[in-house]
Amino acid sequence: MVAPSLLDLLLLILLGLGAGWLGATVGIGGGVVIVPALVIVFGIDIKVAVAASLVAVIATSTTAGSVYLGRGITNMRLGMTLEIATTVGGMTGGLVAAFVPSNVIAALFATVVAISAGVLLWHAANPPVRTVQAPTNGTVGWEDPGALSGAYFDHARGGMVHYRARRIGLGSAVSLLAGSVSGMLGVGGGFLKVPAMNVLMDVPVRVAAASNFMIGVTAAASVFIYFERGFVEPLVAVPVALGVVGGSLIATMMAGTTSAPKVKRILALVLAAVAIEMALRAFGVGVGV
Q: With CB under 8 A as the contact rule, which of the stretches 31-39, 97-105, 220-228, 276-284 interacts with other proteins?
A: 220-228
- Is residue 144 part of the contact set for other proteins (CB under 8 A)? yes
- Is residue 134 part of the contact set for other proteins (CB under 8 A)? no
Give the contact letters, 23-62, x = binds to other proteins (CB under 8 A), - = no. Answer: --------------------------------x--xx-xx
Concatenated DSSP letters of 87-114: HHHHHHHHHHHTTS-HHHHHHHHHHHHH
Between the CA of residue 128 and those of 125, 202, 205, what are the distances in Å? 10, 9, 11
φ/ψ of residue 232, rounded to 5: -85, 110
Amino acid letter, 4: P
Q: What are the strands of the beta sheet with 149-154, ordered from one edge?
A: 132-133, 159-164, 149-154, 141-143
d(CA 60, CA 27): 9
For other proteins, the closer of residues 116 and 180 by Cβ is: 180
Q: With CB under 8 A as the contact rule, which of the stretches 29-37, 219-227, 251-259, 261-269 interacts with other proteins?
A: 219-227
Binding residue (CB under 8 A) for other proteins from 158, 230, 253, 284: 230
Q: Cβ 53 to other proteins, closest distance in Å?
A: 13
d(CA 130, CA 263): 18
Give the contact letters, 153-192, x = binds to other proteins (CB under 8 A), - = no. Answer: ----------------------------------------
